Amino acid sequence: MSNSMTFNPHKIREDFPILSRKNRGKPLVYLDNAATSQKPSTVINAVRNYYLENNSNVHRGVYELAEDAENHYRSSREEVAQWLGTSPAEIIFTRGATEGLNLIARSFAEPLLTKGDQIILTEMEHHANIVPWQMIAESTGAEIVVVPVLQDGSLDREILDKLLNHPRTSILSICHISNVLGTQNPIKEIVNEAHKNGVKVIIDGAQSVPHLKVNLRDIDCDFFVFSGHKLFAPMGIGVVYAKGELLKDMIPYQGGGDMIDQVSFSGTSYTTGVQRFEAGTPNVSGAIGLAEAIRYLKSIDFHQVDAHEKMLLESTREMLCDVKGLVEHGTVEGKAGVFCFTIDGIHPHDLATLLDAEGIATRTGHHCCQPLMERLGHTATARASFSIYNTMEDVERFCSSLKRAANILG
Ligand SMILES: *Cc1c(COP(=O)(O)O)cnc(C)c1O
């Protein structure tokens, strides 16, 4: 494993067994990290060991095995809380960022909103941070107001600030980092501005936690969500951070076992705390995998991750600067290592197909951001997204294959 003194992507690659497989018979170059990350052996083994040695249902088990599972589940929540700089009493496990945003919309926002209240979103949001709000707007009569994205991929701060100061604005839900543009929103400043006007802030951190060390006490947002699978952990586990003072008054999102105090046909009472939002058997192995991914990340210096991924992005730009008609979408200073682009006259899907034949995994389409695609004037774009295990060799193979593909298709 790497340590913070010697950040070495080649060394990190050795921790990720899948990276040595082939894709269409060529060594795999995995550049679809914004869709999902690969998993280190330690995470794979933690999940495997859970099923080999610890599997049993959590809560109310009176035998040793069940106590072990319960302890693992509890300590996973503690690991997540500590890593985010919060308390375990503020960490709810979900299936992922999508379920997290739905939970917040239903349990927190729906009871709060009345007709004419405003929910602020931005033009760069993922569908997961749009559709749940449309559902809540429908049921409450609240209105959705959208902050535009400027040409460089940054937010129109003037409009955002104006909206935050509107008397009917009660909620802002915004991504930390855009999965398309790579824009990193100045969320600490935005949270500060929002709070001056009593606006509650929900942050979609799906794309920030894999690239930045996030401290939620410092950011001081009201809610924060992310998915384990983009953070080197298994699919099917995610996290909602909810500020304690808000969590305490939220209504349950789903009913069932493990979220109740007493059940009877004349009336049921709910349990308190985070368990009120975790109806049914939880994803224990997922939580254990997530905690293990966090332990893995603790050995890595995020300043170096950031510098490395930005270096890969910069090199990509340099190598591709002479490709005719290539436009990068999202060019704001300090953006994350996401290279989203189009080439005039070439369909992104055709590019991706030729790249795939060379072993290179990229993503094309709307990236679950159709409103943003509309803003950019494309129905689809191509995207290469970098992670801790990508190397200069990956960038070189991507760029030379892309140039060949552009020549063939252009
Ligand atoms: C991936 C992603 C989501 C949704 O995450 P799921 O794991 O699909 O629930 C939400 N927002 C952003 C910015 C994302 O990149």
Query: Is the Cβ–Cβ distance between 334 and 306 less than 8 Å?
Result: no
Q: What is the pLDDT of residue 8?
A: 95
Average pLDDT over residues 195-199: 97
Backbone angles phi, psi at 58, to 5 degrees: -85, 170
Helices 64-84 and 284-297, axial angle in degrees (round to 10): 40
Tell me how far apart the alpha carbons of residues 326 and 11 are, in angstroms, rounded to a whole number.
33
Tell me how far apart the alpha carbons of residues 139 and 396 are, in angstroms, rounded to a whole number.
51
Q: Express as a percent the part of the chain with pLDDT over 90.
A: 97
What is the CB < 6 Å shell around ligand 1?
34, 96-98, 126, 128-129, 175, 179, 204, 206-207, 227, 229-230
Which residue ranges does the chain devote to CATH 3.40.640.10? 45-298
Average pLDDT over residues 202-216: 97
Does the pLDDT of residue 4 top 80, yes or no? no
Q: Which amino acid is at 166?
A: H
Query: Is the Cβ–Cβ distance between 56 and 66 less than 8 Å?
Result: yes
**What architecture does CATH give domain 45-298?**
3-Layer(aba) Sandwich (3.40)
Which mutation among 124, 133, 175, 204 tests ligand 1's pocket best, with the greatest number of atoms within 8 A of CB?
Answer: 204
Average pLDDT over residues 139-164: 98
Q: Which DSSP state fits 52? A: I
Burial code (b: 16+ CB inside 10 Å, e: under 16) for 249-270 equals ebebbeeeebbbeeeeeeeeeb
- Token pair listed for 54: 């610890």
Does the pLDDT of residue 209 top 60, yes or no? yes
Q: What is the pLDDT of residue 60?
A: 83
Helices (H), 119-186: 131-140, 157-164
Does the pLDDT of residue 3 top 60, yes or no? no
Is the CA virtual torsion 83, 88, 89, 91 positive or negative?
positive
Any residues with CB less than 8 A from the CB of 43 and at least 6 apart, and which?
Answer: 232, 233, 234, 289, 292, 293, 296
Which residue ranges does the chain devote to CATH 3.90.1150.10? 4-40+301-409
pLDDT in tens, 25-74: 999 999 999 999 999 999 999 999 999 999 999 988 899 999 999 999 99
Does the pLDDT of residue 2 top 80, yes or no? no
Which mutation among 227, 239, 367 tests ligand 1's pocket best, with the greatest number of atoms within 8 A of CB?
Answer: 227
Q: What is the pLDDT of residue 5?
A: 58
Tell me how far apart the alpha carbons of residues 303 and 259 are, in angstroms, rounded to a whole number.
40
Tell me how far apart the alpha carbons of residues 146 and 343 are, in angstroms, rounded to a whole number.
28
Give the residue, by CA position, lying nearest to ligand 1 atom 14. Answer: 206
Which mutation among 98, 104, 130 tests ligand 1's pocket best, with the greatest number of atoms within 8 A of CB?
Answer: 98
**What's the CA-to-centroid distance between 62 and ligand 1, angstroms?**
38
Does the pLDDT of residue 181 top 50, yes or no? yes
Active site residue 340: no
Average pLDDT over residues 275-304: 96
Does the pLDDT of residue 179 top 90, yes or no? yes
Q: State which ligand 1 atom lies nearest to the alpha carbon of 34.
A: 15
**What's the CA-to-centroid distance between 362 and ligand 1, angstroms?**
17
**What's the CA-to-centroid distance between 183 and ligand 1, angstroms?**
15
CATH number of 4-40+301-409: 3.90.1150.10
Q: State which ligand 1 atom lies nearest to the alpha carbon of 175.
A: 13
Tell me how far apart the alpha carbons of residues 175 and 150 are, in angstroms, rounded to a whole number.
16
Average pLDDT over residues 236-242: 98
Tell me how far apart the alpha carbons of residues 126 and 174 are, in angstroms, rounded to a whole number.
9
pLDDT in tens, 293-350: 999 999 999 999 999 999 999 999 999 999 999 999 999 999 999 999 999 999 999 9
Q: Express as a percent the part of the chain with pLDDT over 70.
A: 99
Residue 410 pLDDT level (bands cut at 50, 70, 90): confident
Q: What is the pLDDT of residue 1?
A: 47
Q: State which ligand 1 atom lies nearest to the alpha carbon of 128.
A: 10
- The average confidence (pLDDT) of the chain is 96
Query: Is the Cβ–Cβ distance between 395 and 308 less than 8 Å?
Result: no
Does the pLDDT of residue 102 top 50, yes or no? yes
Check residues 6 and 312 and name the one with the higher pLDDT: 312
Q: State which ligand 1 atom lies nearest to the alpha carbon of 99.
A: 9
**What's the CA-to-centroid distance between 179 and ligand 1, angstroms?**
8
**What's the CA-to-centroid distance between 98 and ligand 1, angstroms?**
6
**What's the CA-to-centroid distance between 134 and ligand 1, angstroms?**
17
Q: What is the pLDDT of residue 59?
A: 86
Does the pLDDT of residue 173 top 90, yes or no? yes
Q: Which of 340, 368, 369, 399 is catalytic?
A: 368
Does the pLDDT of residue 256 top 90, yes or no? yes
Q: State which ligand 1 atom lies nearest to the alpha carbon of 35.
A: 1
